[in-house]
C-alpha cells in the first residue's frame, strides 16, 4: 500500500461518508502495529464505530485491542469530553464565586457549541501533548465524513486567529483566563497538521463520480490551510471474481468510467485500489484481508442461494403513499454518511412533486450534492441548501443590524469580534433549519440531513433552544419550538436510511435510540443499495448478498415500516431515475 510507505506520525483518513474510512483506518492500524510499532487509533467522529469493527467497547478512554500487540484505540465521545471540559473550567472557581455566577458559566457551556469545542480540545491534545501521547509511533485518525472533518481541521487556524486578534469574551472557551495557553496549543496544532513529514492525509473514496469529486473538494480546501501531503485510496472496487452478469458488468463499467475521469488535482497523488469483499469488515481476522486480492468464488453456496426466496418486496412507493396522505409536513432523512440519504430524500421529494404537491427539498449536509442528483427542474419542487458560510454571513449581518444598531463604535467592534467565533456557524445553521421546520406547516419539506454525528449536534442545539424558551416563558404562555414540531408524529416523519451491513444498521439503531430519548420516534427505515434485493446470479455477489439477510431481519424487528431499494446498475441521478426508485408494486413490507 503506497499510503503506508514511510508513514509519518499522524495519518488522517477522510472522505465522503460510507466509503469505508473506518475499515481502511482500522486495517492500516493493524498493519502498522504488525510492523512492531506502537499505534493509537482515534475516532473523531461523533458517531464513531471503531468499537463495533473490533467487537469491543472502547469509548473515551485508551483501550488496548485484544490479540493485537502495540495497538490501542480511543473514541472521542463528545458528551464525555464536554462534561470533562466544563469541569476543568468550573472546578478552579467553584469555591470562589457565588452560586449564581457558577450557574451562569455552566449555562454558557451547555450548548452544542461547547460540545464541539470540547471534542476539538481533545483532538489538539493528541497532536501536541507529547507527555501523554509521545509513546505512540503513529496516531491514526478515523475522522467524521468530509464536511465535519474539514471544519475540524480548519479549527486550529480559526481559533488561533480568533485568539490572536480578539480582545472580547470567548465564552465557548470559558473565562478569559488561560486563553494564552489555548493560543499556544492551537498554534502548535497548526504546525503539526501542515508539516508533511508529520502528517499525511489519506483521502478514501469509492469508484463513483460523486465520491471522487468529494475527495477532490476536500483536498482543495485542506490544501488552502497548508495540509497538502495527500494519498488517494479507492475502496470497494468490484473484482473480476464477481463475474460478468449484467449488473456486475454495468457496475464495473461505471466504476471504470469514474476512475478514468478522476479530477486532475487528485489524479497526481499516489493512489491505491482496494477490492470489494464478500463479507463485512468486522473483526481482526477479516480486517487483515482488506489489503489482499479476492479469491474467485467459482461454486455456489446453498445458504447464499436462499436469498432469492427470503427477500420480500418492500418498495419505496408504499412509504410515499403513506407520506402523501398527510398533504403536508416535515420529512427528515437521517443516517450514517454514504448510505444514500441524499438519493432517498430526492426520490421522495420528486415523487411527491409529481403527484401535484408543493415540495421544498433542502439539505443540512455540508458535503451534499442535491443539484448533482437532480439535473433539472421538476414542477412544484424547490431545491435549496443550508450553506454554513452563507447562513453565518446572514446571521452576522442580522445581529449587527439589530443588536449592534444602538451600540457605540467600541460596542460594535466587540460584537463583531464575538461573531467571528467559529461557534457562530452552529447558531446560524440552526436558525436556517428552524425556518425549514416552520415552513412544513404549509407544504412538504424534505430535509437531507448531515451524517449522524453532525445531525445529533444540530438536534442538541434544537433541544437547547427549546429549554431556553421554556425557561424564559414559563408555564403561563403557550409556545411551539422546532423540537416540539419534531416530536409531533403528525407533523414530522423521520426516515432512517441504512445499508444492509452491520455497522450502518448498528449506527442507525443507535441514532433511533438517541432520537427516542429526545422524544422523536422514527417513522420508517429504508435499506438502500441492497445486493440481495437485486437477486444476483454470480456466486461472489450471492455470498455478499447472503450477509445482508441478518441485517434486513434486524431492521424489520426495529421498525413497523421499511422499504428495500435494490442495488441498481445505473446510478439514480436525474429526475427519471429518481422517479423510478419510487415506482413499482404497491405491496408493503
Q: CATH number, domain at 49? A: 3.40.50.300
Q: Are residues 288 and 347 in the same domain?
A: no
Q: Are residues 323 and 266 in the same domain?
A: no
| Residue range 46-92, pLDDT digits in tens | 666 788 889 888 888 899 999 999 999 998 877 777 787 778 778 88
Q: Are residues 198 and 341 in the same domain?
A: no
Per the DSSP assignment, residues forming a β-bridge with 230 are 201
The more confident residue out of 71 and 582 is: 71
Q: Specify the pLDDT at position 469.
A: 47
Report, as an integer, the average pLDDT of 175-192: 63
Separation in Å, CA 98 to CA 84, 170, 173, 426: 21, 21, 20, 30
Is residue 485 within 8 Å of residue 491, measured between CB atoms?
yes
- How many separate domains does the chain show? 2
Question: Which one of 43, 143, 464, 503 is the catalytic residue?
Answer: 503
Compute the chain's Rg from CA coordinates: 24
Question: Which one of 15, 43, 45, 464 is the catalytic residue?
Answer: 45
Q: Are residues 246 and 382 in the same domain?
A: no
Instruction: Evaluate whether residue 98 is within a structural domain.
Output: no
Q: Are residues 251 and 352 in the same domain?
A: no
Instruction: Evaluate whether residue 544 is within a structural domain.
Output: yes
CA distance 286 to 279: 8
Report, as an integer, the average pLDDT of 123-151: 79
Q: Is 45 a catalytic residue?
A: yes
Q: Is 22 a catalytic residue?
A: yes
Instruction: Evaluate whether residue 400 is within a structural domain.
Output: no
The more confident residue out of 323 and 584 is: 323
| Residue range 341-359, pLDDT digits in tens | 889 999 999 999 999 999 9
- DSSP 8-state assignment for residue 251: H
Q: Specify the pLDDT at position 158.
A: 55
Q: Is 108 a catalytic residue?
A: no
CA distance 148 to 125: 19
Among candidates 69, 14, 42, 209, which has minimal Cα distance to 124?
A: 42
Q: Is 23 a catalytic residue?
A: yes
Rounded to the nearest 10 degrees, what angle do helices 409-418 and 388-402 cross at?
Answer: 160
Note the pTM of the prediction, 2 decimals. Answer: 0.68
Question: Which one of 14, 15, 17, 22 is the catalytic residue?
Answer: 22
Domain boundary residue, one of 271, 295, 319: 295
Write the DSSP string, 407-418. --HHHHHHHHHH
Instruction: Evaluate whether residue 401 is within a structural domain.
Output: no
Instruction: Evaluate whether residue 60 is within a structural domain.
Output: yes
Q: Are residues 272 and 368 in the same domain?
A: no
Q: Are residues 346 and 219 in the same domain?
A: no
| Residue range 202-248, pLDDT digits in tens | 999 999 887 898 889 888 888 887 888 899 999 999 998 888 888 89
| Residue range 512-553, pLDDT digits in tens | 888 888 788 899 999 998 988 888 888 888 888 888 888 999
Q: Are residues 28 and 142 in the same domain?
A: yes
Instruction: Evaluate whether residue 497 is within a structural domain.
Output: yes
Q: Are residues 220 and 318 in the same domain?
A: no
Beta strands 63-64 and 71-75, pairing class:
antiparallel
Domain with 317, as residue range(s), is: 310-391+442-581
Q: Are residues 378 and 245 in the same domain?
A: no
Q: Are residues 331 and 278 in the same domain?
A: no
Domain boundary residue, one of 295, 329, 344: 295
Question: Which one of 15, 16, 17, 20 is the catalytic residue?
Answer: 20
Residues sharing a CB contact under 8 Å with residue 108, sequence separation 6 or more, in sequence order:
114, 171
CA distance 540 to 548: 13
Q: Is 18 a catalytic residue?
A: yes
Question: Which one of 14, 23, 44, 112 is the catalytic residue?
Answer: 23
Amino acid at each position: 500500500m503506497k499510503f503506508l510507505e514511510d508513514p509519518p506520525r499522524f495519518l488522517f483518513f477522510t472522505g465522503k461518508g460510507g466509503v469505508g474510512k473506518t475499515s481502511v483506518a482500522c486495517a492500516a492500524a493493524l498493519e502498522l502495529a504488525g510492523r512492531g510499532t506502537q499505534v493509537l487509533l482515534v475516532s473523531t467522529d461523533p458517531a464513531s464505530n471503531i468499537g463495533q469493527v473490533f467487537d469491543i467497547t472502547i469509548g473515551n478512554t485508551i483501550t488496548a485491542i485484544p490479540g493485537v500487540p502495540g495497538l490501542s484505540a480511543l473514541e472521542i465521545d463528545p458528551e464525555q469530553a464536554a462534561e470533562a471540559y466544563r469541569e476543568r473550567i468550573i472546578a478552579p472557581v467553584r469555591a470562589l464565586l457565588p452560586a449564581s455566577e457558577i450557574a451562569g458559566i455552566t449555562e454558557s457551556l451547555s450548548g452544542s457549541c461547547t460540545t464541539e469545542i470540547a471534542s476539538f480540545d481533545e483532538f489538539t491534545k493528541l497532536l501536541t501533548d507529547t507527555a501523554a501521547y509521545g509513546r505512540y509511533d503513529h496516531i491514526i485518525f478515523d475522522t467524521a465524513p468530509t464536511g465535519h472533518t474539514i471544519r475540524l481541521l480548519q479549527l486550529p487556524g480559526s481559533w488561533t486567529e480568533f485568539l490572536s486578534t480578539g480582545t472580547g469574551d470567548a465564552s465557548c472557551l470559558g473565562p478569559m483566563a488561560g486563553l494564552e495557553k489555548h493560543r499556544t496549543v492551537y498554534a502548535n496544532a497548526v504546525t503539526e497538521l501542515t508539516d508533511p513529514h508529520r502528517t499525511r492525509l489519506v483521502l478514501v473514496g469509492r469508484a463513483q463520480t460523486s465520491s471522487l469529486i468529494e475527495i477532490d473538494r476536500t483536498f482543495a480546501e485542506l490544501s488552502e490551510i497548508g495540509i497538502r501531503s495527500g494519498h488517494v485510496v479507492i475502496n470497494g472496487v468490484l473484482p473480476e471474481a464477481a463475474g460478468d452478469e449484467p449488473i456486475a458488468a454495468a457496475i464495473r463499467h461505471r466504476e471504470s468510467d469514474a476512475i478514468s475521469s478522476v479530477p486532475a488535482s487528485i489524479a497526481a497523488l499516489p493512489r491505491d485500489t482496494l477490492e470489494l469483499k464478500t463479507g463485512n469488515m468486522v473483526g481482526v481476522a477479516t480486517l487483515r484481508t482488506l489489503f489482499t486480492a479476492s479469491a474467485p468464488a467459482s461454486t455456489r453456496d446453498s445458504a447464499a442461494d436462499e436469498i432469492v426466496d427470503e427477500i420480500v418486496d418492500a418498495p419505496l412507493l408504499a412509504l410515499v403513499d403513506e407520506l402523501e396522505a398527510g398533504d403536508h409536513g416535515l420529512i427528515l432523512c437521517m443516517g450514517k454518511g454514504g448510505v444514500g440519504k441524499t438519493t432517498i430524500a430526492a426520490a421522495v421529494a420528486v415523487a411527491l412533486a409529481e403527484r401535484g404537491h408543493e415540495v421544498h427539498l433542502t439539505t443540512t449536509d455540508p458535503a451534499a450534492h442535491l443539484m448533482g442528483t437532480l439535473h433539472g427542474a421538476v414542477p412544484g419542487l424547490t431545491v435549496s441548501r443550508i450553506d454554513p458560510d452563507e447562513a453565518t454571513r446572514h446571521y452576522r449581518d442580522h445581529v449587527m443590524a439589530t443588536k449592534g444598531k444602538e451600540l457605540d463604535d467600541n460596542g460594535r467592534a466587540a460584537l463583531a469580534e464575538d461573531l467571528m467565533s467559529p461557534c457562530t456557524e452552529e447558531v446560524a445553521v440552526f436558525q436556517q433549519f428552524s425556518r425549514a421546520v416552520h415552513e412544513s406547516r404549509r407544504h412538504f419539506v424534505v430535509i437531507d440531513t448531515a451524517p449522524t454525528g453532525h445531525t445529533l449536534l444540530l438536534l442538541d442545539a434544537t433541544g437547547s433552544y427549546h429549554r431556553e424558551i421554556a425557561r424564559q416563558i414559563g408555564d403561563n404562555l403557550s409556545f411551539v419550538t422546532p423540537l416540539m414540531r419534531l416530536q409531533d408524529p403528525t407533523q414530522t416523519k423521520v426516515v432512517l436510511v441504512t445499508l444492509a451491513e452491520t455497522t450502518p444498521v448498528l449506527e442507525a439503531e443507535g441514532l433511533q435510540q438517541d432520537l427516542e430519548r429526545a422524544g422523536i420516534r422514527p417513522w420508517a427505515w429504508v435499506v438502500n443499495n441492497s445486493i440481495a434485493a437485486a437477486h444476483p446470479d454470480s456466486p461472489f455477489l450471492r455470498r455478499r448478498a447472503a450477509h445482508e439477510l441478518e441485517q434486513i431481519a434486524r431492521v424489520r424487528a426495529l421498525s413497523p415500516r421499511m422499504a428495500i431499494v435494490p442495488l441498481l446498475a445505473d446510478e439514480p441521478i436525474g429526475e427519471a431515475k429518481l422517479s423510478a426508485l419510487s415506482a413499482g408494486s404497491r405491496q408493503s413490507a
